[in-house]
Amino acid sequence: MASRGGGRGRGRGQLTFNVEAVGIGKGDALPPPTLQPSPLFPPLEFRPVPLPSGEEGEYVLALKQELRGAMRQLPYFIRPAVPKRDVERYSDKYQMSGPIDNAIDWNPDWRRLPRELKIRVRKLQKERITILLPKRPPKTTEDKEETIQKLEKKEEEVTSEEDEEKEEEEEKEEEEEEEYDEEEHEEETDYIMSYFDNGEDFGGDSDDNMDEAIY
Amino acid sequence: MTQAEIKLCSLLLQEHFGEIVEKIGVHLIRTGSQPLRVIAHDTGTSLDQVKKALCVLVQHNLVSYQVHKRGVVEYEAQCSRVLRMLRYPRYIYTTKTLYSDTGELIVEELLLNGKLTMSAVVKKVADRLTETMEDGKTMDYAEVSNTFVRLADTHFVQRCPSVPTTENSDPGPPPPAPTLVINEKDMYLVPKLSLIGKGKRRRSSDEDAAGEPKAKRPKYTTDNKEIFRSLPVGYNISKQVLDQYLTLLADDPLEFVGKSGDSGGGMYVINLHKALASLATATLESVVQERFGSRCARIFRLVLQKKHIEQKQVEDFAMIPAKEAKDMLYKMLSENFMSLQEIPKTPDHAPSRTFYLYTVNILSAARMLLHRCYKSIANLIERRQFETKENKRLLEKSQRVEAIIASMQATGAEEAQLQEIEEMITAPERQQLETLKRNVNKLDASEIQVDETIFLLESYIECTMKRQ
């Protein structure tokens, strides 16, 4: 402690320890102070070692890329909901519908999962069926017409592919729209639905004690 | 969990499961165990989306849940499991080398889906294999089942904990979440299944009954005679030659095999810990050499050998001029490959009368290197995503053109038309696509390579921590 205080008082250039022990000889200039952060991509002195190539390396590489692609297609890949645009457009019907916001595409084993993770969508069974039926017939005739005409091959093929996919997506889309509204309504209220008491039970409760007056 | 690990987890989750799952997963990794409503509130996502994300995460064994008192279920993420996703291609390849295509597809299906029942796996794999076979041939369920049982026996596949069958003593409301239990013995047991393949009527095969696995006594040391007995038949090694080989292995300075006694003709043991330590040290040396040059590597090996060494002695032993030696030592010190040990001569620790010794602490250097590896993989993934995003328009165009060509070929089109379509992509665009493909491949291959280093370092660190 004494030497440290003494060193600071006596001279600015002196350090508290013997500089030679660390290896800086007498009279050697210390490196200049650095005034800016180190460069983002400093020049490399040594080139990196080449990557392993060969059958194994290439196979594992191909596997990796395939795995990545495959996982994007699985139902486990959850895409964020497409933001609803200000005005409903005609082309929305023919575009690939966005991800289904409220249901899961796959069926987990619900016995192994906590109950709270299940999203309830049972209320719309009836509505789903009624909406589907009028939709289906016009769709199939549309398809046949397009396969007969082969004027603009490219566009037609693209849209007919889309339409086939649309048939399946359409069901889900209707579901989803209805579900979404219902769920929205359900969640908009701050009150828990089961707490709601609509007063039907009021009269029957006090049947036992007829002595008390009913106010 | 370090920031680097969390960043890497975030990138991996985003690539494989999308942004919503990534948000929830990273939040759980950062904050630990939390119930459903708190997660929804903290991340600002709707309850439904949180539920979906949690379903996916639990299905893939990345998040576990636990029931606490008052029926609250809390979810916890496992960061190390997320980092394992880097290694999936390596797992699949290893299974392929040991169990051929059937094993490869089984492991791939399980990795893609998280968990599956045996019948589901067998069905999917059989269907996939049938597609690749010639017309008329189909894949038999029995063969796939056999491979599955072999994979379970060698611990490639493991049984998940299952819901216990309750005796219904408590007819009240069911618990909010099942408590999964697993019996240690059951982990690698495969149930007796008779899966009939492909619609053909076959006699149910009893071969896939695994039965009780024989309780194996853990073997630490093996003696000479046993080794001789268990050699495979085609080797043709006489007892003397075997003795010589074993002595050679045991005397090796790397100490992978050790001799622990002379009873029974010599007891030999494999030193896994020493093997991992040698491998970790070799990795460190290689990194120093590639980053700083061979002279630095020489100094590094010298310090490793001498354990503690003064600066003056480094110059003498390594035969490198003082200035350069000093410079290199400091460079390695500043990058944390080495550390300084102070030994005071006097009780007042005066700096002028203290020895400063350079030393390499392998464990801490390995940890530092591991941290850097996580950072580098995160950088590689980000760069790859950036490259792909830059050329997104071009990639989409080429995909569309390929789709058009494929559909035209299917409906039968002339060469001229196909040529016309192909020319939609101009030559410089093709060049760009080639460059992009090359870069992406290089980045992917680098990721795989860094993952190998991570595997080595993590194994070493885990092994050392267990011993302490």
Q: Which helix (H) or strand (E) holds B141?
A: helix B141-153
pTM: 0.73
pLDDT score for B212: 31
Angle, helix B427-467 to helix B362-390, in steps of 10 degrees: 160
Q: Which has the higher per-residue pLDDT, A215 or B28? A: B28
Q: Do A114 and B351 touch (CB under 8 A)?
A: no
Q: Report the pLDDT value the prediction gives residue B39, as an integer from 0 to 100.
A: 92
**Pairwise pLDDT comparison (A64 vs B221), residue with the higher score:** A64
pLDDT value of residue B450: 94
The mean per-residue pLDDT over the stretch B389-415 comes to: 86
Nearest to B59 among A59, A63, A108 (CB): A108
How many Å separate Cα A173 from the centre of its chain? 19
Q: Using DSSP, state whether B349 is helix, strand or coil.
A: coil
Higher pLDDT, A128 or B149: B149
Instruction: Please say if the pLDDT value at position B213 is more than 50.
Output: no
User: Highest mean pLDDT: which of B43-52, B181-190, B219-228, B249-258?
Assistant: B43-52
Q: Which residue in chain A is spatially nearest to B450 when comparing CA positions?
A: A51
Q: Any chain B CB within 8 A of the CB of A1?
A: no
Q: What is the mean pLDDT of residues B193-217?
A: 37
A46 interfaces chain B, CB cutoff of 8 Å: yes
Position A167 scores a pLDDT of 45
With a threshold of 0.90, tell me whether the complex ipTM lies above it.
Answer: no
Quote the pLDDT of residue A162.
Answer: 47
Question: Quick check: B269 pLDDT over 50?
Answer: yes
Q: What is the pLDDT of residue B200?
A: 26
Chain B within 8 Å of A114 (Cβ-Cβ)? yes
Per CB-CB distance under 8 Å, the chain B contacts of A65 are 444
**d(C-alpha B348, C-alpha B146), whole Å:** 73
- Chain A residue with Cα closest to B315: A23
pLDDT on residue B89: 93
Q: Is the pLDDT of residue B83 over 90?
A: yes
Strand order in the sheet with B257-261: B221-223, B267-270, B257-261
Cα–Cα distance, A77 to B113 (Å, whole number) = 11
Nearest CA in chain A to B97: A56
Q: Can you tell me whether residue B178 is helix, strand or coil?
A: coil
Instruction: Look at B25 and A32; give whichever has higher pLDDT.
Output: B25
Report pLDDT for A198.
62
Share of chain B above pLDDT 90, in %: 41
CB-nearest to A60 from B93, B404, B446 is B93
Name B198's Cβ contacts closer than 8 Å, sequence gap at least 6. B126, B130, B138, B139, B140, B141
Q: What six digits make up the tokens of B237?
A: 């090694």
**Nearest CA-CA distance, residue B108 and chain A, Å:** 9
Q: Is the pLDDT of residue B320 over 70?
A: yes
Secondary structure in 3-state letters for chain A: CHHHHHHHHHCCCCCCCCHHHHCCCCCCCCCCCCCCCCCCCCCCCCCCCCCCCCHHHHHHHHHHHHHHHHHHHCCCCCCCCCCCCCCCCHHHHCCCCCCCCCCCCCCCCHHHCCHHHCCCCHHHHHHHHHHHHHHHHHHHHHHHHHHHCCCCHHHHHHHHHHHHHHHHHHHHHHHHHHHHHHHHHHHHCCCCHHHCCCCCCCHHHHHCCCCCCCC
Which of these, A155, A86, A22, lies nearest to B403 by C-alpha position? A155
- pLDDT at residue B146 is higher than 60: yes
* pLDDT value at residue B447: 94
* A182/B contact by beta carbon, under 8 A: no
Q: Cβ of A74 under 8 Å from any chain B Cβ?
A: yes
Please, which pLDDT band fits residue B388 given cuts at 50, 70 and 90? very high
Quote the CA–CA distance of B282 and B301 in Å, as a whole number: 10
Closest partner residue to A21 (CB to CB) among B352, B441, B444 is: B352
> What radius of gyration do chain A's Cα atoms show?
36
- Chain B residue closest in CA terms to A150: B411
Closest CB to A111: pick one of B48, B49, B178.
B178
C-alpha A96/C-alpha A50 separation (Å) is 44
pLDDT at residue A138 is higher than 60: no
- Is residue A76 within 8 Å of residue B59, measured between CB atoms? yes
